[in-house]
Chains A and B, each alone.
Chain A
Amino acid sequence: MSSTVLDYTKELPVIEGVPSAASLDETIVKPINDFPKRTWFIALAITSTMLLIGAVSVTWLLLKGVGIWGINQPVAWGFDVVNFVFWVGIGHAGTLISAILFLLRQKWRTGIARFAEAMTLFAVLCAVQFVLFHTGRPWLAMAWLFPYPNQHGVWVNFTSPLEWDVFAVNTYLTVSAVFWYVGLIPDFATLRDRASSTIKKTIYAVLSLGWRFSNRHWQHYERAYLIMAGFATPLVLSVHTIVSFDFAVSVIPGWHTTIFPPYFVAGAIFSGFAMVQNVLIVTRKAFKFEYLITMDTIEKMNKIMLVTGTMVGYAYMTEFFIAWYSGNLIEKFVFINRAFGPYWWAYWIMFTCNVVTPQLFWSKKIRTSLLASFILAIFVNIGMWFERFVIIVTSLSRDFLPSSWGMFYPTIWDFGMLIGSFGLFFTLVLLFVKFLPAISMAEIKAVVPGAQPSHSHNGNGASH
């Protein structure tokens, strides 16, 4: 391996040191081949217990119906929709990292893209379960959600934001899964060629579809990757935009605002990066990926959180300003009620975690500290969960008519489903890091110093 000067940018190297491609494979494949450590089993025990709590809650829900939750009139959307929006938001970081940063040629994304894509899939699965269960009778949901010819002669309403949501979330889930799988194909082939046991070899051979690293294939593959990134970029923006339409298209004060789409998208990226940061820091430590996921990557993630957190803070201020400037009494009341009404504590938790504490990232010392990054990212997650809670619950609990005001009190089953969704997410993450390559081997090898010809001029546009 020659250690030529990088010709494409003045960026820091994506990975530290100049390891050989073979040693990269070794590092990435190690967690898959080794018998897992005791800590992995302890973590799996905790997350699967949480998952079990969720399973019990869901079983009880199916037996009794959504009446077991704290929802009622006027707050008919409670934890179900809060959790849905929260998890869909988390799911935005993956595609952002793998698609938008790919188009912007941000090579530092390479170490974390696979990981973030997997988290996207898992987060969207967590989100989908909430909308499914909140329909009340999920076993009939297929009949309500998808347009299919039926004996009732009825079609879904294509002008409803809730139906847009069905299309957006399902498209997003499918496209993310395809994007993820296409990225995995060469890695499955590498695993196939490294495998020693016949069973493993057969499984990886089937999953790799017979990939043989031919440049005649890479040519199409790279173009497909570019096309998918190009499509996924507007898609990721469209998904949370459409989620925000669920609220913005209604006439509830505090929801009916045009700022919602950009505000939701910024919030989604914010929370998604925070969750990726949390999981990343733990994995990096546990699997000794320090020189693949560098401090520089973590610092850049923190910078993005700083930017998006400030955007979210700006949106909070704008909402207040517009409520005052519009001269609409009810709008004005709703926002004063948010900050100083019965749910004031939720508002201020949200404001502190989303706007105040991320400002600490202005300091380079905090930005490059693992512990501080981890804790502040947890704060962001808490804050973004409360943001959805504040938006949904405060607006519904006190709208136009004081005679129809009412408070929302979550029940134990609401918390059970929330804990269960975290259990599902982290169980899937743990299984993912054990059974699949957590870092894209083909992509990371391509950005090692000296991995490309030293005098390449007309490189393929879709280079990794």
Chain B
Amino acid sequence: MEKKLYSISAIYSTPNDIVAAAKAVKDAGYTKFDVHTPYPIHGLDGAMGLKETKLGFVTLFAGILGAVGMISFASWVAIVDYPQVIGGKPYWSWPAFVPVTYEIAVLLAVLLTVGAMIVFFFKFPNTSHPLHDTPYMKKVSADRFGVAIQAADEMFDEKKVRELLKSTGGEVEAIYYSEEFLIFKPQLFDPKFILLLIGVSLATSAGGYLYFNKVLYLPPFDWMVEQPRFDVQSRTDYFEDGHSMRLPVQGTVARGFIPYPYVLGAKADSIGKFLINPLLNSKVTLELGKKKYLTYCSPCHGNFGNGDSRLNGQFPNPPTLHSDKIRNWPDGAIFHTITVGQNVMPAYQYQISRDERWAVVKYVRTLQRAYNAKESDLR
């Protein structure tokens, strides 16, 4: 294939020469030219007439993005999504978010600056430029300095350019390239590229699935699952009685539980004065009381408290709940009787919780009122 002219270039051997040459090329009015030096040279930017780099704006943007993003994220976690009291501090303890915010700001600023520089400012990676692999490039990558004026420049005229470069004291040479060498146009919707993306995502998903669902359950990674322990209701030789389940230490009190201070045998009506029903009359309370009454009380006391259940005769009959004695008891006395029991009636405190017992008391009161309705209730 035919080779095309890329540029006319010149090589210089001292930094002073290259600065002068760059200035001469700029003053002659060329715009599509470049200077190549093995290391940055002071004053060359001015000589080439380059504008100040805009890279700093990327950094500013990235830094602000990182800082604002991170502190917003940490605040959202702390206030909205996962509020936790840590060390007795308020949820939004923003001074403690400063270290992570700072680190993310620095991270984003550096990564985006370098990323933007490479991709947008340099248009890298690009390993197929006409200058690559030329004797010219090999000189400027070692210890020489070069100027290259592109053939694409509007003012380009090979003769004039050669004269200009020779007058500045450079060794002039022409750089040619063949077009096929440069053909590489990456496309977003290239089927191969899309296939690659699909492949990568499949591989990542499969890897993640295998790791989290299979590998972590293989030895030795499963040792927290397969640790030595006793399962419920299992046998052991470690304890004398052979039970692996142990009772709590005597006197242990469960969380949220208040031990009942009175015992069986105490006078129900005198204790009752000290116990106040904490529940208010409501539909919820009565429904609960009804449910518990029908479950635990009705087998003996009957569905309506008359002491006439179907077990009548098989046990000593319980007295009716509508007697004057019980109607005149304070609420607490009924509560006490349910809690610790009375005569053949067992204690129900282990089966019915405290609040449920109070609800039962409310329900019994309702039954009593229904059986002994007054004139005023009719109205």
Across the interface, do A175 and B40 meet the contact criterion of CB distance under 8 Å?
Answer: no
Across the interface, do A158 and B97 meet the contact criterion of CB distance under 8 Å?
Answer: yes
Q: Which residues of B contact A222 (CB under 8 A)?
A: 40
Kindly report which residue of chain A lies nearest to residue B78, judged by CB atoms. A158
Contact of A215 among B36, B89, B99, B131 (CB under 8 A): B36
Interface string of A305-330 (1 = CB under 8 A from B): 00000000000000000000000000
Give, as a whole number of angstroms, the nearest-CB distance from B107 to chain A. 5
Across the interface, do B110 and A442 meet the contact criterion of CB distance under 8 Å?
Answer: no
Interface string of A56-75 (1 = CB under 8 A from B): 00000011110000000000
Across the interface, do A140 and B216 meet the contact criterion of CB distance under 8 Å?
Answer: yes
* Segment at the interface with B among A42-50, A160-168, A409-417: A160-168
* Segment at the interface with B among A123-131, A265-273, A274-282, A445-453: A445-453
Q: Which chain A residues (346-405) contact chain B, with CB distance < 8 Å?
A: none
* Segment at the interface with B among A286-294, A424-432, A456-464: A456-464
For the complex of A and B, the 7 pairs showing the least CB-CB separation, nearest first, are A459-B42, A21-B143, A159-B96, A456-B42, A446-B39, A164-B99, A167-B103
Instruction: A462 to B44: give the CA distance in the assembly, Å.
Output: 13
Instruction: A204 to B222: give the CA distance in the assembly, Å.
Output: 44
Contacts A/B (CB < 8 Å), 27 sampled: A20-B143, A155-B77, A158-B96, A164-B100, A167-B100, A167-B103, A168-B99, A174-B111, A175-B110, A194-B142, A208-B127, A209-B125, A213-B141, A216-B34, A220-B117, A228-B110, A228-B114, A231-B109, A231-B110, A445-B39, A446-B41, A452-B15, A453-B15, A453-B16, A454-B16, A459-B42, A460-B40
Across the interface, do A182 and B114 meet the contact criterion of CB distance under 8 Å?
Answer: yes
Interface string of B88-109 (1 = CB under 8 A from A): 0100010011011011101101
Interface string of B33-48 (1 = CB under 8 A from A): 0111111111111101
Instruction: A235 to B106: give the CA distance in the assembly, Å.
Output: 8
Instruction: A385 to B106: give the CA distance in the assembly, Å.
Output: 29
Give, as a whole number of angstroms, the nearest-CB distance from B155 to chain A. 19
Instruction: A446 to B39: give the CA distance in the assembly, Å.
Output: 6
Kindly report which residue of chain A lies nearest to residue B95, judged by CB atoms. A159
Interface string of B205-231 (1 = CB under 8 A from A): 000000100011000110110000000
Across the interface, do B43 and A190 meet the contact criterion of CB distance under 8 Å?
Answer: no
Given A167-B100, A224-B55, 10 further pairs, Cβ under 8 A:
A22-B142, A22-B143, A139-B215, A171-B106, A210-B126, A215-B34, A215-B41, A224-B117, A231-B106, A238-B103
Give, as a whole number of angstroms, the nearest-CB distance from A218 to chain B. 4
Would A227 and B141 be within 8 Å (CB), given that A174-B111, A218-B37, A453-B42 are in contact? no
Confirm or deny: B286 has a beta carbon within 8 angstroms of a beta carbon on chain A: no
Kindly report which residue of chain A lies nearest to residue B107, judged by CB atoms. A171
Q: Which residues of A contact B104 (CB under 8 A)?
A: 167, 171
| Interface core residue of A167, A179, A232 (most chain B CB under 10 Å) | A167
Q: Which residues of B contact A227 (CB under 8 A)?
A: 55-56, 59, 109-110, 113
Q: Which residues of A contact B74 (CB under 8 A)?
A: 158
